[in-house]
Structure 1
Amino acid sequence: MTTAHYAHIHAMVQTETDPMHRNRLEQFIYALVCAWPNYPIHHAAQAAVQLARPVQIHRAHSLEAVERVVKHIDLRPGQEWEMLGYPPRAGALPILLSDPQDESAPPIAHYLREDVVDPDTGIHPSREEVPGQTAHIAGWRQRRGNPDASRPETYRGFHPALTEDHTRMLGNLWKIGAVAVWERDSSDAASWAELIHPPVEGEAAIPDMTEHDSWYRFRISSHMGRDSFAEIGLCLGNIFCHHLPQVWEENSADGSGVDRRVVLLESEAAGSIAVSRVGGPVRRGTSFFRNALTDDEPLPRDFHLPTVLHAAEQIQDLLQGDTTAVTAAAWFADDPRS
């Protein structure tokens, strides 16, 4: 997947002219992508823009109300409903989820529980009549890739609230040449992501990197405590949203020319989505991005949804252990979105 594969989703959001409706659509995309790790991020976002009108998401009065709506949505492939004995009712509109990497493959039709019926009675199934999806979703949230490549010992004892699973996920940071450390000096900032030791072309990330030789250093303020995991997610968002150079890509970025508020919003959004999808400890209370999302106004025009969704996808893959170590390319600072 690339950022370009999310462009049509961004375009659909941009066409919503009513500010309140657009705000609810942005909230809906965020909530659905976070809640459905059983669907790839691209499919969850595709579903959100198609489901917004059928579920009348614009009638929800807050982000919390949107999240409650998401909890009650039961969307499944038509084939699964058929196997359960509930074909689509006549005239039911499918939610079509396509694979942008295979344009020749037909989209897969999905249906809401309210749009399938018992062929004998014509009544749609109750929640008690079909297997729930809670355990299935939880299983996807807990799925992990190759554990042998992780270095959990690096983060054992980082904070008492972090479990062995959390440290195992953080143990994959080395694959992009990153190390997270505590920042003991007093500061108002919660974290800093820095390209502290730029690599040369052909240099590979190695498992035993420390803050003294890592390419990237994430300095986490000591007052963050349990929220350090979410803050590391934000630091990863800085890299994967192209606000710091991705040194393993020849076309990279340095974040110059991007409004600093947008930098923080995009980075926090991408990290927050990924942390939610992998079952990491989410940020307690409010956050800069969540505040912006609940302002009843659309996110800033410069907020680039394709960049955020693609970044979240890559952060999720890294934390889950689905990626391999990177090798530095002949990178240069440029903006791949321009």
Structure 2
Amino acid sequence: MTPTLVYLATDRHIRHVTDPVDRAGLERWIIEFVAENPRFTVDQAVVVARQLAERWGFDVVADERRREELVQPVLYTEAEWLARGRVPDPGARPVRMLGSRRERFGCFLSGDVSPAPGAEESTRWPVVDALERSRHLRRRAHHLAPEYREFAEVLTDYELALLRHVWVIGAVVEWDDDPDYDTVGWIRNGPRDRRRLPRPDLTGDEALFRLLINPWPGEENVMVVILGLLAQILALTVLGRWRGAPVTGEDGEDGVTHPGELETGLIAHLVARRLGLDESVRDRGVRGYLHGEVPGPAPEGVRWNLVFETAEVLEDVLRGNSVFTWRAAGD
């Protein structure tokens, strides 16, 4: 099953939950699990989260008091457990996973294994710091890519390193020299010439997308703004992939609804957490949805397949995964 089909099945799975309390709990559980487990790819995390919710029950995974202990389970294959002196219990149900080549395999939770007879049990389970793991960049930026030192006062070195990869989608980030004081950031579309592929040394005049940031952002976190703008671009890219043609019209034209604020906010939220960005890098609208006084399910218009697939693409771009190509960005 491809990631696109995984996300479509997840969207349908969420919509089939009719009780609003259960649905709200399931939505937040999947979001939390995906955000807290950068050790898995996004599609792997979604698949595991759904299985654990079915196994433990909606009321359990929706309980914020228990979520912290449940959200990072110890999961190993049978061979990996055996190397640690343990074997799956008789009748233990594996958690089904998809490998990088889409092969299927099973993993077992720590509560479903016991010491192997005659084996020397090892309790030295590898503990990998989640933050350090999440901050792994798959490759260094091209030496010609901009360093974005003009943003050094508002972004960390790590955030600057992430931005050095956005040229692969034909984007550059700049301070807006003529800002609208009611707008923290916006996208100016550039020329769409297929004969000129994006280059790491793209200038603003050549870029497919110029992300213009207000030099006076007020209380807004600049990285949140940039992630939100990138989420808009890549969500439209994903929508174009689904329909087999780039999305070039206005919202609602050609039967395509552009991503909404909560959708792009959730995409940015997931990617920020999976990349280990500072706690302040959180969209306020998303915080209201996740931690409101009366938590309810997301509006029906939220397309969970769009949220998760775009989060996967955006994370790959920022980590330097060159699988993403300019033609996938559409024009």
Match of residue 256, structure 1, among 251, 255, 266: 251
Greater Cα shift, 32-41 or 251-260: 251-260
Could you tell me how far 1:40 is from its partner in structure 2?
A: 1.0
TM-score of the pair, normalised by structure 1: 0.81
Once the two structures are TM-superposed, the CA of residue 68 in structure 1 deviates from its matched residue by 1.7
Q: Within 5 Å, which residues of 2 pair with 1:33-112?
A: 33-59=34-60, 65=65, 67-71=67-71, 73-99=73-99, 102=102, 105=103, 107-112=104-109
Instruction: Specify the alignment match of 1:335 in structure 2.
Output: none
- The whole-number CA distance in structure 2 between the counterparts of 1:54 and 1:330 is 38
* Counterpart position of 2:204: 211
- The aligned runs of 1:146-157 (5 Å cut-off) are 146-149=139-142, 153-157=146-150
The 3-state SS of whatever aligns with 1:167 is helix
The answer to which of 35-44 and 67-76 deviates more is: 67-76
| CA 1:331–1:145: 2 relative to 1, 3 Å | closer
Q: For the Cα contact (< 8 Å) 1:31–1:66, is it kept in 2?
A: no
1:278 CA drift (Å): 2.2
TM-fit CA distance, 1:27:
0.8
Of 222, 236, 241, which residue of structure 1 is paired with 2:230? 236
- CA 66–175 in structure 1, closer or farther in 2 if over 3 Å, else same: farther
Residue 284 (structure 2) pairs with residue 287 (structure 1): yes
AA aligned opposite 1:74: V
3-state SS in 2 of match to 1:219:
strand
Aligned-partner residue type, residue 84 of structure 1: R
Contact 1:145 1:320 in 2 (8 A): yes
TM superposition shift of 1:3: 2.8
> How far, CA to CA, are the matches of 1:246 and 1:259 in structure 2?
11
Alignment of 1:1-338 (within 5 A): 3-59=4-60, 65=65, 67-71=67-71, 73-99=73-99, 102=102, 105=103, 107-120=104-117, 129-135=123-129, 137-149=130-142, 153-183=146-176, 185=179, 187-194=181-188, 196-221=189-214, 222-223=216-217, 227-242=221-236, 251-254=245-248, 256-257=251-252, 263-284=260-281, 287-295=284-292, 296-323=295-322, 326-327=325-326, 331=330
Percent identity over the alignment is 22
Is the 2:23–2:297 contact (alpha carbons within 8 Å) kept by the matching residues of 1? yes
| Contact 2:265 2:283 survives alignment (8 Å) | no
CA RMSD of aligned residues (A): 3.3
After superposition, the C-alpha distances for 1:79-103 in whole angstroms (9 at most, x for unaligned) are: 222211121112222111135964x
Give the whole-Å Cα distance in 1 for the aligned partners of 2:156 and 2:114: 44
Residue type at the aligned position of 1:267: T
Task: Report the Cα offset of residue 161 of structure 1.
Answer: 4.8
Query: What is the CA–CA distance in structure 2 between the aligned matches of 1:244 and 1:129, rounded to whole Å?
Result: 43
1:46 positional shift: 0.2
Q: Secondary structure at the match of 2:79?
A: helix
Q: Is the CA contact (8 Å cut-off) linking 2:7 and 2:309 kept in structure 1?
A: yes
Q: Over residues 124-171 of structure 1, what are the superposed CA-to-partner deviations in whole Å (9 max), with x where a residue is unaligned?
A: x9xx93425333x44431222331426564312404253333212101
Q: Contact 1:20–1:298 (CA<8 Å) still a contact in 2?
A: yes
User: Matches of 1:330 and 1:131 in 2, distance apart?
Assistant: 41
Shift in CA distance, 100/297, structure 1 to aligned 2, threshold 3 Å = farther
Structure 1's unaligned 5+ residue stretches are 333-338
Q: Does structure 2 retain, via aligned residues, the 8 Å contact 1:47–1:97?
A: yes
After superposition, the C-alpha distances for 1:192-228 in whole angstroms (9 at most, x for unaligned) are 233x213122321122223333211212233257821
CA contact (8 A) 1:95 1:110 kept: yes
Preserved contact between residue 237 and residue 315 of structure 1 (Cα < 8 Å):
yes
Give the counterpart letter for 1:300 in structure 2.
Answer: P
Across the two proteins, how many residue pairs are aligned to each other? 319
